Amino acid sequence: MKIGLRICVNTLQGALEGVPNLLRLFDEYQVQASFFFAMGPDRSGQLFGRSALQPWQSHLKFSSRLYGTLLLPPHISRRASEVMRSAAAAGHETGLLGYDRAAWVSKAAFADETWTQQQMMLAVEAYESVFLKRPQAFAAPGWQLNPHLLGLEQKLGFDYTSDVRGKTAFYPVLQGVESNCPQLPTTLPTLSDLMLRGGDVTAENAHEYLYSESQYILPNGHIYSLDAEMEGIRYFSLIEKLIVMWKGYDEGLTTLGKLSVKLDRTSLGRHQVGWSDEETKVFHVATQALQV
């Protein structure tokens, strides 16, 4: 079984602290991963108190929790461009996690085409200014999307996207809009999910639970989504334990891009995109639904 690593870099602190930590870890264990960067202003303060939308907020520095409210929001791709390029230089895949994350997770599900296109073009332009090339992959912040996004993703020529939760790669359909850009869904619960749920799974044993869940065979392998602000900083030891365990798999750890190139795109199913709180138990995320 292959495990694709989908790393969300949501904030400036995640970029400047979490990413270097993860790069050192991946270098030590010779692992490649996919880093998805929020490219625009860090307005983390606007989501303060909304832990469902920002479950790692208690791990941010006090100043970071004020960005966009009492403190001016720093522009992530301008302040962290060297770190972003270092991820690519180390052989990792880089992609987009949108532009203004706080705005996206609050508005995207009900946004109109104009707003969606504006956010996407700002993100693409910022990415190009850092990497001097067009992005080839997109991951929707908070698994929030709308039908306008599906059309834009195809027009922008992404190799694949990772906007939803699910079990297999598929072509998405939402409110009558179809896209021929494959979705590679997050298949495993996130650490944030597990922390929000509570119960018997804790930060001390979450790696065992996730390893057990990853042993269920899926057609295209598993995808684990982690946050630079969670596993990259406070729960760094947890991701190291998982990497050691997953490295024992025959096919090991890889990027989403490498999972994508192995897809037989002529045989991918077309599925509706629905909304579910099954994993988070707190808020709704876009989820792979019935095949059409």
pLDDT tens digits for 164-188?
999 999 999 999 999 999 999 999 9
- Give residue-wise pLDDT tens across range 55-84: 777 778 888 888 999 889 999 999 999 999
Question: What pLDDT digit, counting tens, does each position of 237-258 carry?
Answer: 999 999 999 998 877 899 999 9
In this structure, how many other beta carbons lie within 10 angstroms of the beta carbon of residue 86? 14
Tell me the whole-structure pTM to 2 decimals.
0.96
Per-residue HEC secondary structure of 77-145 comes to HHHCHHHHHHHHHCCCEEEECCCCHHHHHHHHHHCCHHHHHHHHHHHHHHHHHHHCCCCCEECCHHHCC
**Residue 52 pLDDT grade (very low, low, confident, very high; cuts 50, 70, 90):** low
253 forms beta bridges with 3
CA proximity to 103, closest of 43, 162, 164: 43
Backbone angles phi, psi at 261, to 5 degrees: -70, -20
Please give the domain boundaries of the chain with CATH numbers for all domains. 3-291 (3.20.20.370)
Rounded mean pLDDT of the chain?
Answer: 94
Q: What pLDDT was estimated at residue 51?
A: 66
Determine the Cα–Cα distance for residues 65 and 106; give it in Å rounded to an integer.
17
